[in-house]
Structure 1
Amino acid sequence: MTARGCAGPSARVVRAAVGGLVHESSTFMVEYLGTAELSAFSCHQGPDLLTEFGGTATVTGGYLAACAAVGAQVRPAFHARAEPGPAISGDAHLALEQRLSGALCEAGDCEVVLLDLHGAGVIAPDRSLDVAVLRRVRQLLPDAVIAVTMDLHANVPDELLDLADVVTGFHEYPHTDAADRARLAGELAVAAARGTIRPVIRQRRLPMLLPPSPTVAGSPARELRDLVREIEERPGVLACAAFHGFPYADTEQAATSVVTVTDGDPGLAQRCCDEAAAWLDGQRERFRPTLLAPVEAVRLALASEEPTVVVGDGSDNPGCGATGDNTHLLRALLEAPVATCFATLWDPETVATAVAAGVGNTLDVRLGGRHGWASGPPVEAVGTVRAVTDGVITQTAMRRGKRADFGPSVRITVGRCEVIVASQRRQVLDPEILLLHGVVPRRYRIVAVKSVNHFRAGFAQVSGHMVVADAPGPTARGIEQIPRSGPTRALWPMAAPHVVSGGQQS
């Protein structure tokens, strides 16, 4: 679908540079993982960018589709992304920004720049990565129309909106609409370059941060999604997004916000932001999650009438920056009197030991628990190596069509549990990493995965019953329970009286 006001392929050709620098940064995780360095990033430049992202359900894939739809000439620049983790180092930021700058210079004079930015990137200790990137791009191409597509969990400072001409954000959580939202941003940017629309952006920031809140049926996040969708369909409105904010970045930028883009009408844009913000302010208590300890989550799964139940490891989601080696849920699974499976535990040392032992051999294992409080104690047990793989999969739900690399990985049987251990820290979005190791999820009573909400899309065909387990940790869903000393202490729910459970069901 072509965005309203956008001319089709017959209009004059516009040159569009496509790139991005994507990182969701937790300031809490620096203590446990250090800073994110250049080696953490997967980088693609020029023709390689087209090969990597063409036809994928990603932001960059959406940009490429937009250019094809409206007849814009793609100038592939540079794209870098790392798994969410600790704030990135200053050296890594400079190296990545230099590569992006060089690629943009090679792309030549472009009327449009299409950027994939997360919106919650942090340069250690507390600078906005996204603002830094936009400043540099604006310096290089002062007259270009710059479009940005950001994650639903973006923290959006005012300066970001001063630097960009078009801003869109995901509506869905799990983020299954990334490509669609980027396509909208791309089409709007090209239309602006052609002079058929005049984008105006306004924002309303709220003194709050939402805990991880999926847009599942019956949830307040679904109602919020529906509201901004309805706003976006109004005459004169080009785009509207509610950004939940990223509660694991303790910075000045962190906050929930609403951003609206209109066609030359700043008053309309502000009224739309204020309307959605007022709804959020009135409904915020409904966003408190009901927390389930791992033992309780397993007990609930065992009581289910569904033959298979999927349990998300909500406190140790690498997609929030967590270590991925927390053992609390694994311990609960090992006590279950049924066949279970677990993916993935980040433990390069155990992978190396298992590979050396070889398939079919039994060995003493020390699983996970390598980062103190963030990880829990290691699990010491006897396990049998069942499979060894390269850990490379192609994702089938969120980021459909995009490769993901878990690094060398192994399947180890511990009691009744099949444990997939990986040498790269990755969130599990779909069953592919299990299938790669010969584990068919439907054959197990409980399937546990390192993910807080994104697994819901990828495992929808596996089970109709999904729950989230909560253990202590620096990326727990009970965000008001996380020790913090910075600016986010003053935001809801940290500054509000603690309520153990609320209206949102797991």
Structure 2
Amino acid sequence: MRIFTATLATETNTFSPICVDRRAFEASLYAPPGEHPETPTLCSAPITVGRRVCAEKGWDLIEGTAAWADPAGLLNRAAYEGLRDEVLDQLRAAMPVDAVVLGLHGAMVADGYEDSEGDILARVREIVGPDILVCSELDPHSHLTAKRIKAADFFVYFKEFPHTDFVDRAEDLWRIAVDTLEGRVKPVMSVFDCRMIDVYPTSRDPMRSVVDKIMRIENEDADILSISVIHGFMAGDVPEMGTKLLVVTNDREEKGDALARELGLELFSKRGTFIMPQIDEKQAVEEALAATSWPVVIADVWDNPGGGTAGDATVLLEELLDKGATETAIGTIWDPMAVQICMAAGEGARIPLRFGAKSAPGTGNPIDGIVKVVKLVPNAEMRFGESFAPFGDAAHVVLNGIDIILNSTRAQSFDPSLFSAMGIDPLSKKILVIKSTNHFFASFSQIAAKIIYCSAGTPYPNNPAKTPYRRAPKNIWPMIADPHGIQHGAA
């Protein structure tokens, strides 16, 4: 067997002012054929898992380019077309192949390509023809479109949020691919449109129980090859935005359709109960300062670079400064220019510095003060599960007793190693402020005495009922109350 694999992925917040070009991929991950490291990144696990699987089977794995850019706004058209065509040309050169196994995200939007993954998959199908297996692993914070379903044989999505299972789901992807190629199964996809958009952290109920249930069904029913909840991505203003339920069966389409509908309506019945409760910055700081055990982690959930924002909001920092907080660390505030100034000044310098709140309204005000430059780290990284996440050249500064990490490559706060990489012992602090919606939970929950979810400012379109969508569907919850007509017995 000859299998082609590659990765092209980013998550597009169409409301974000931070546009993406080729340099953004090169800053996060750009690995030409054969140069992908042994450690997988979020969307490239099909490559690393594929190496092991193909070695065990004695199959030829032909690796294409792996490219990932951290979430942001619209992807530059020339950058998208260049990377896409690079991968497609590699596929053409590899022909004939028995299968194409891809790592995609599912929420990529390029200038001129509203359904970028649909575009890629359709072109892959055109190259390989109708009979060659085409499959992909994807992120659930994405859009499942009719064009993608038509082009591929099956998809597997991460089940967990935080996405701690991207390697496990790549294993599922390859297991089904191998079984298909060896004639044991015939994957068929069934999709139910839940007609809703929400946020579904799996670290708490009710979503924890939903994921446990679908994994139990997979284990107990031989007809069911995979079940995925596609959460949708509320910051992606595209026509097929929304939550979908995907069931992959072994040639049992009617059974898959029925199960997808059953699970999808069950999910819909719990709408509005999934996301963690949040408080504003004033209450969050008040609670953190009143705590008697530490560290208290305040998650600035909507200024999350993992959702495409700049990560430069200062709303929480302003409140902490106003209340005279000490023994506090902020990780991070994105400001490449401020980092350059700190790099030029050198460690130990005391300098006047303005930083933060440059990207958009609703992110607070720039901070001005005399800061001490404590530590400078070129090409800094933090852990993210089995992988590492770069946050670029970074500066640890102190202002009025508060430790602040300024970074040049946008990245959400995945792990306490973010702080230790910059010379800050996270366990020595009473308050840690991080920027992440829920990916932080797996690691920070292990050290936190308390976690506070804070909605500070408006850097992210977090209320779909009020978001000024232009392209997204208007007939889904919470835009309308009852899109399935359940209250009237129509379901």
Instruction: Name 2:486's counterpart in structure 1.
Output: none
Secondary structure of 1:380 counterpart = strand
Aligned-partner residue type, residue 250 of structure 1: D
More moved, 285-294 vs 146-155: 285-294
Whether 1:172 aligns to 2:165 is no
Report the aligned-residue RMSD. 2.2
Measure, in 2, the Cα distance between the counterparts of 1:45 and 1:301. 46
Instruction: Name 1:122's counterpart in structure 2.
Output: 109
Alignment partner for residue 67 of structure 1, among 50, 54, 57?
54
Instruction: Name 1:39's counterpart in structure 2.
Output: 23
Alignment partner for residue 254 of structure 1, among 241, 248, 258?
241
In the TM superposition, structure 1's runs of 4+ consecutive aligned residues that sit over 4 Å from their partners are 54-57, 68-71
Shift in alpha-carbon separation, 1:342–1:71, aligned structure 2, 3 A: farther
Measure, in 2, the Cα distance between the counterparts of 1:408 and 1:55. 21
Shift in alpha-carbon separation, 1:65–1:470, aligned structure 2, 3 A: farther
Alignment partner for residue 25 of structure 1, among 7, 12, 18?
12
TM-score normalised per structure 1: 0.89
More moved, 403-412 vs 224-233: 224-233
Whether 1:111 aligns to 2:95 is no
Measure, in 2, the Cα distance between the counterparts of 1:126 and 1:94. 10
Instruction: Name 2:317's counterpart in structure 1.
Output: 330
More moved, 126-135 vs 344-353: 126-135
Alignment partner for residue 264 of structure 2, among 277, 283, 289?
277
Shift in alpha-carbon separation, 1:464–1:130, aligned structure 2, 3 A: farther
Question: Is the 8 Å Cα contact of residues 210 and 256 (structure 1) preserved in structure 2?
Answer: yes
Instruction: Name 1:471's counterpart in structure 2.
Output: 456
Measure, in 2, the Cα distance between the counterparts of 1:28 and 1:126. 16
Measure, in 2, the Cα distance between the counterparts of 1:439 and 1:479. 37
Shift of 1:454: 0.3
Shift of 1:332: 2.2
More moved, 461-470 vs 322-331: 461-470
Aligned-partner residue type, residue 36 of structure 1: V
Shift in alpha-carbon separation, 1:476–1:62, aligned structure 2, 3 A: farther
> What runs of 5+ residues in structure 1 fail to find an aligned partner?
1-13, 498-506
Question: Is the 8 Å Cα contact of residues 383 and 389 (structure 2) preserved in structure 1?
Answer: yes
Alignment partner for residue 135 of structure 1, among 122, 137, 148?
122
Alignment partner for residue 418 of structure 2, among 433, 437, 441?
433
More moved, 324-333 vs 467-476: 467-476
Question: Is the 8 Å Cα contact of residues 360 and 384 (structure 1) preserved in structure 2?
Answer: yes
- The 5-angstrom pairing of residues 283-294 of structure 1 reads 283-287=270-274, 289-294=276-281
Measure, in 1, the Cα distance between the counterparts of 2:101 and 2:430. 45
> What runs of 5+ residues in structure 2 fail to find an aligned partner?
483-491
Measure, in 2, the Cα distance between the counterparts of 1:125 and 1:388. 40
Whether 1:156 aligns to 2:144 is yes
Question: Is the 8 Å Cα contact of residues 156 and 169 (structure 2) preserved in structure 1?
Answer: yes
Measure, in 1, the Cα distance between the counterparts of 2:371 and 2:359. 22
- The 5-angstrom pairing of residues 351-370 of structure 1 reads 351-370=339-358
Instruction: Name 1:206's counterpart in structure 2.
Output: 194
Secondary structure of 1:437 counterpart = coil
Alignment partner for residue 407 of structure 2, among 422, 426, 438?
422
Measure, in 1, the Cα distance between the counterparts of 2:374 and 2:408. 16
Shift in alpha-carbon separation, 1:427–1:342, aligned structure 2, 3 A: same
Aligned-partner residue type, residue 195 of structure 1: G
Instruction: Name 1:454's counterpart in structure 2.
Output: 439
More moved, 337-346 vs 481-490: 481-490
Instruction: Name 1:375's counterpart in structure 2.
Output: 363
Shift of 1:69: 5.2
Shift in alpha-carbon separation, 1:328–1:179, aligned structure 2, 3 A: same
Alignment partner for residue 211 of structure 2, among 222, 225, 238?
225
Measure, in 2, the Cα distance between the counterparts of 1:25 and 1:175. 17
Secondary structure of 1:49 counterpart = coil
Measure, in 2, the Cα distance between the counterparts of 1:56 and 1:245. 17
More moved, 409-418 vs 363-372: 363-372
Instruction: Name 1:6's counterpart in structure 2.
Output: none
Whether 1:76 aligns to 2:60 is no
Secondary structure of 1:85 counterpart = coil
Question: Is the 8 Å Cα contact of residues 291 and 478 (structure 1) preserved in structure 2?
Answer: no
Measure, in 2, the Cα distance between the counterparts of 1:71 and 1:304. 58
Whether 1:317 aligns to 2:304 is yes
Shift in alpha-carbon separation, 1:46–1:57, aligned structure 2, 3 A: closer
More moved, 403-412 vs 76-85: 403-412
Question: Is the 8 Å Cα contact of residues 156 and 173 (structure 2) preserved in structure 1?
Answer: yes
Shift in alpha-carbon separation, 1:122–1:193, aligned structure 2, 3 A: same
More moved, 167-176 vs 288-297: 288-297
Measure, in 1, the Cα distance between the counterparts of 2:56 and 2:362. 46
Measure, in 2, the Cα distance between the counterparts of 1:434 and 1:369. 21
Question: Is the 8 Å Cα contact of residues 276 and 453 (structure 2) preserved in structure 1?
Answer: no
Shift in alpha-carbon separation, 1:138–1:192, aligned structure 2, 3 A: same
Identical amino acids, percent of aligned pairs: 27
Give deviations 1:386-418, integer Å, cap 9, x for gaps.
Answer: 001013325242xx1x33322211000011211
Question: Is the 8 Å Cα contact of residues 170 and 177 (structure 1) preserved in structure 2?
Answer: yes
TM-score normalised per structure 2: 0.92
Secondary structure of 1:385 counterpart = strand
Shift in alpha-carbon separation, 1:306–1:476, aligned structure 2, 3 A: farther
Measure, in 2, the Cα distance between the counterparts of 1:115 and 1:127. 19
Whether 1:348 aligns to 2:333 is no
Shift of 1:433: 2.4
Secondary structure of 2:278 counterpart = coil
Shift of 1:177: 0.3
Shift of 1:194: 1.7
Shift in alpha-carbon separation, 1:113–1:464, aligned structure 2, 3 A: farther
Question: Is the 8 Å Cα contact of residues 67 and 187 (structure 1) preserved in structure 2?
Answer: no
Measure, in 2, the Cα distance between the counterparts of 1:485 and 1:54. 33
Question: Is the 8 Å Cα contact of residues 294 and 332 (structure 1) preserved in structure 2?
Answer: yes
Measure, in 1, the Cα distance between the counterparts of 2:196 and 2:210. 15
Instruction: Name 1:4's counterpart in structure 2.
Output: none
Question: Is the 8 Å Cα contact of residues 292 and 470 (structure 1) preserved in structure 2?
Answer: yes
Shift of 1:382: 1.8
Whether 1:308 aligns to 2:295 is yes
